Amino acid sequence: MPNLNNWIKLKRNKSLTIIFSITAVSVIISCVNLLKPSQVKPDIEDLLIGNIAEEEDSAKSENNEENSPKDNETNAANKMKRVQQNGSQSSEHSAGGKKYQELYPDLYCIRPQKQVNPDKTIFLTFDDGPSDRTLEVLDILREKGVKATFFVTGNCPAKGKSIMKKIVDEGHTIGVHTYTHDFKRIYASVNAFLDDFNKIYNLIYEATGVRPTIFRFPGGSKNGFNKGNYRELIQEMTRRGFDYFDWNLSAGDAVSRTPTPVSRCISNVLNASKTCAHGVVLMHDARPKVTTVEALPAIIDGLAKQGFSFDKLSNNINPAVYSLVKPYR
């Protein structure tokens, strides 16, 4: 009998040992599982903090665009560099199941490998023509011996094509602005922008025999109508080889529906140009812009007195220093 009791005790001890071992293992596993979230959490928090910091840096960069002209040039150049680095990446956005990169396979141009930043040079630019005002502007430019750049639209009179050809024949640059100038329609999507761009691009080629390589976004590259997709628009147009030019000087002739006084157009340009090493001047040659034409001779003379020379824009000019700057001072 003692042997039987000993055997029973031995069996019971073994059973307790097994149960204890199983319980211990279960507790250990539970502890390990409980510890895992706390080990992963810091990495997630770091990632979130990194994203927040990146957004704050981006916001700071955009705020800095309203600082000095030199700071504007640095910030804009950095942004253009990022756009060009991303330009080769394939976009997954599409409309109607078709990627916009596949649209208009002939709508491309070749960008020079090296672009220059001319010092002490002014580029006079005119948007929203052609019109009768364009002919007046051309007369003044011819008299002053100055070349300029015209970003044209499709909203032109019957003689619009002949005016476009005159722009080119007189040695000026012609660039794309917009066909419809309907901001809501143009900026509705990348597809919509490409549709409009292709129309005016082909109209210019038909009228002049020139295939434009530069353009200006209606309202500037960042405005209230494209704030949701301007980065995507810039990336796609840059990928296609086109360069866009904003401005760092403006006559302020489009800030209201009533014509800007001649004296104001002149002072808007000449006061701001005193702090610029070089500049792109925004003006308009749509039919109502009578005071712009009247102010033009004084603007040219004043800039010349400040030591500037004049030239026309092309894709040989580095557009980065004029991009994404505050539209009006």
- Whose structure tokens read 């750049």? 149
- Interatomic CA distance for residues 266 and 251, integer angstroms: 7
Residue with tokens 């770091």: 46
Active-site pick, 127, 195, 196, 253: 127
Please report the sign of the dihedral spanned by the C-alpha atoms of residue 118, residue 124, residue 127, residue 130.
Answer: negative
Residue of 128, 196, 284, 311 marked active site:
284
The question of whether 127 is a catalytic residue gets the answer yes
Q: Does 285 participate in catalysis according to the annotation?
A: no
Which residues are registered as beta bridge partners of 151?
A: 127, 175
User: Whole-angstrom Cα distance, residue 250 to residue 148?
Assistant: 15
Query: 10 Å Cβ neighbour count for 170?
Result: 13
| Angle (deg, nearest 10), helices 132-144 and 160-169 | 10
Nearest-Å Rg of the Cα atoms of the chain is: 32
Q: Are 80 and 234 in contact (CB under 8 A)?
A: no
Active-site positions read 127, 284
